[in-house]
Every structure is written in structure tokens, then in C-alpha cells.
Structure 1
Amino acid sequence: MPTSPKSAHTATRRSEASRRAILTASVDLVSETGYAKLTIEAIAARAGVGKQTIYRWWPSKGAVLFDAFLLLSEDPVSGDPALPNTGDLEADLKTVLRATVGELNDPRYDAPMRALHTEIVHDPELAATYAQRLHEPMQELKRARLREAQNAGQLDPHADLDLAVELFWGPLLNRWLQRTGPVTVEYTDQLVETVLHGLRPRGSAREPEGNLPQT
């Protein structure tokens, strides 16, 4: 007997409700107990679903946590993930990195992000998924913003943009991950100023992109 459209719609809604319950449960549990004690059984019990329901959608607890992190990171206000471009590269980078500081210092993000980084080190399949679905898309957004500044004459035309991205974001994430110092707005502002000093065209002064000298 064929499934009616109404029944199919109801099943889809139930599946989505179950999926969100699982992802929410994984975030809550990793914050409460730590990643080492997180189990599929515990997630299933907290979400009110069967263990097989989780395994039908995810191969491991690391994969569950990765999707949970993506859900947690969704921006409910703006669907445009592009980095800001006000015409002032320094101001735009400071805006983005200040927002990153806010996320890294948010207790909702801290435990899931640390657990995800730990699991990626030990799970090559999860690492590949992370690279494909999150890291590379974000890297391209960052490269695109720097490329725009480079084309406008704000960055050295020979600068390696992949390396530039690492110079802006890498120290902040390393400081947070290894707890080697406070993760603050003051630190990221100084980071942006220092890296930009090295990446600007030789002999150029700091100028907003809209006020570049004409050639």
C-alpha cells in the first residue's frame, strides 16, 4: 500500500525532530561528562531514540558531534556566510576575529569544539569529512576576502593567501586549544595589526581600500 503524502510528511517531521534531539543530546552530554565518557547509548537515552536510529545516520559519536557542532554554528539571522567587506580590510578582519573570540569563550561551544578537534586527530574519516564540509568552505571564504584586498592593492600581490589565512586565524585557535594565554579582543586586534604589517605592499601606508591612490 503506497504511503500517503500526509504520512510521508509526518514521518519526515518525526525524523527531523529525532535528528535534532540526538544532536542536542550529544552537545549537552559532552558538556556535562566530557567526550571520553560520551557514548552512543547515552546519546540515545537522552534523546529518547533507539541506538540503531543513531547508527542509521552516523557511523560514530564523533560524526554525531560534528553535525551537532554544525547545527550549533548555524546563523539564524543571516544566510550569507561571506566575510564582511566594508572597504577597510583591517576593520573587517578585526570584526570577524572578535566574533570568533566570542564563540571560543562561549561555554556552549567550548566543550563540543575541543572534543571535535580531539576526535579529528584520531579519526581520518571524520577529519576528511570536516575538511570537506567545514574547513575548506571556510578557508575559501577567507581567501576570497583577502583576494579582494589583494586585487585592490591592500596586500602584497605575491602574498600566499593560504599562508595569510593561517597567520590570521592559526595563532588564535592554537592559543585557545592549548590554553597558552587569554583569548581576548585585545589579542586578536594586535594579531591583525601585526600580520597586516607584514602583508601590506612594501612602502605602503595603511589606507582604506576606497581611498587607494589611482595608478
Structure 2
Amino acid sequence: MAKQPDPSRRSERSRQAVLAAARELVTEVGYAKLSIEAIAARAGVGKQTIYRWWRSKGAVVFDAVLSLSEIDGDMALPDTGDIEADLKTVMRATVAEFADPGFEAPIRALNIEILQDPELAALYREKVAGPVDEAKKARLRSAQQAGQIPADADLDLALELLYAPLYQRWLLRSGPLTADYADALVDLTLKALRPS
């Protein structure tokens, strides 16, 4: 007797095809020209399939970015005991990711949609920004316990000192995203945090 195809495997293949198509198309044509119809055609699914799983093209792009980031809630930053080295490792990886065209186009598209969709913005904070920030703060708390940064340092502000300049440079395309830039951000942030 022939084995029946597993619908859940077929659905997961279709879902992955949609996410890949969304990433490819947003890179090729930009967010403004991206359409559900084009994603469906590229993925080889009906647009009804997309609308059954996602409420908008922004939601599709969100999931496409989420699948790139592999945020699972159990993430942890490196903790070698040297906060400077660990932050430089993380920041170098971050600038490399933001400089990668395969990541940049979908994340730019997501940022555009977040500006216009409060529900998507809240989902992004819950699923991506929140868990990532908590992992970063956990590493900073470890540095506080080791006496590498002051125990009374405002960790939310520390993250803003570290990441806001990178985000602004990326958003405005005002300069290159390099390992040297990442290192300079870490050096300046740690200098600001450490007592004089």
C-alpha cells in the first residue's frame, strides 16, 4: 500500500518556500514593490495559502527576518570573562550581519513596516528585540558581578550607547560598517561606563 504524503511536511515546505521567496524578492525589488502575489508565484503556492498564515506582507517579511535571526529565547552572548573581548566579538558579528545584503534588505523592509504597524512593532519587541536585549543585559550583569563595569550602571542606557550609533549609521548609510567601527563603539561605551 502506498504511503500517504504527510500534510505537515508539505505545509512546512510551503512555509519555508514563502519565507525564502519573501527574502529574495525584498532584496531584488525592495519593500514598496513587494507583493503577496509575487511572493506566492515565486514560492509556488496560492496567495490564499499566504493569507491563511500571514495577515500582511509585513508579517511575511517579519517571519522571514525571524527565520534568518534564529531567535529562540535561549540565546546567550559569549562570556569568556573579558567583557571587552566578548562585546567586540558580538559587535563585529552584528556589523557583518547588517552589512550583508541578504540580511539588510529584509531588515530594512521590516523597519519600514514597523513604523506604520503598531501591532507588528509590538510583535517585533516581543519576539526579537526583547529576547536579544535580555541576552545582552545578562552578559552586562555578568560583567558587573566581575567588577568590569559599575554595579549601578543603567544597562538599558548602556545598550543604547553601544547600539544606537551602529543603528543610525546603518539606517542613514552614513558610513561603513566595519570591524574597526564595531571595536570603536565597544571602546567608547566601556570608557563611558567605567569609573574615572
TM-score range (shorter-chain normalised) is over 0.9
Q: Which amino acid aligns with 1:162?
A: D
Q: Which residue of 1 aligns with 2:136?
A: 142
Aligned to 1:82, what secondary structure does the other structure show? coil
Correspondence 1:185-200 to 2 at 5 A: 185-200=179-194
Q: Is residue 20 of structure 1 aligned with residue 21 of structure 2?
A: no
Q: Which amino acid aligns with 1:119?
A: E
Can you give the 5+ residue segments of structure 1 that lack an aligned partner in the other structure? 1-5, 204-215
Output the CA distance in 2 between the equivalents of 1:72 and 1:140: 19
Q: Which residue of 2 aligns with 1:47?
A: 43
Output the CA distance in 1 between the equivalents of 2:155 and 2:189: 12
Q: Which residue of 1 aligns with 2:170?
A: 176
Q: Which of the residues 124, 127, 130 maps onto 1:133?
A: 127
Q: Is residue 30 of structure 1 aligned with residue 26 of structure 2?
A: yes
Q: Which amino acid aligns with 1:12?
A: S
Q: Please state how far the C-alpha of 1:81 moved relative to its aligned partner.
A: 2.2
Q: Which amino acid aligns with 1:176?
A: W
Correspondence 1:65-214 to 2 at 5 A: 65-74=61-70, 81-200=75-194, 202-203=195-196
Q: Which amino acid aligns with 1:36?
A: A
Output the CA distance in 2 between the equivalents of 1:20 and 1:92: 33
Measured against aligned partners, the alpha-carbon deviations of 1:42-100 in whole angstroms (never above 9, x if no partner) come to 1111111111110111100011011111112239xxx9621000010000000000001
Output the CA distance in 1 between the equivalents of 2:86 and 2:105: 28
Kindly report structure 1 stretches of 4+ aligned residues shifted beyond 6 Å.
none
Measured against aligned partners, the alpha-carbon deviations of 1:133-153 in whole angstroms (never above 9, x if no partner) come to 000000100000001111111
Output the CA distance in 1 between the equivalents of 2:146 and 2:54: 45
Percent of pairs with identical residues: 63
Output the CA distance in 1 between the equivalents of 2:90 and 2:147: 21
**Is contact 2:91-2:182 (8 Å) kept?**
yes
Output the CA distance in 2 between the equivalents of 1:108 and 1:74: 15
Output the CA distance in 1 between the equivalents of 2:24 and 2:86: 33
Output the CA distance in 1 between the equivalents of 2:104 and 2:13: 25
Larger radius of gyration: 1
Aligned to 2:148, what secondary structure does the other structure show? coil
Bigger drift between 153-162 and 87-96 goes to: 153-162
Can you give the 5+ residue segments of structure 2 that lack an aligned partner in the other structure? none
Q: Which amino acid aligns with 1:142?
A: K
Output the CA distance in 1 between the equivalents of 2:56 and 2:38: 13
Q: Which amino acid aligns with 1:190?
A: A
Aligned to 1:157, what secondary structure does the other structure show? coil
Output the CA distance in 2 between the equivalents of 1:14 and 1:191: 45
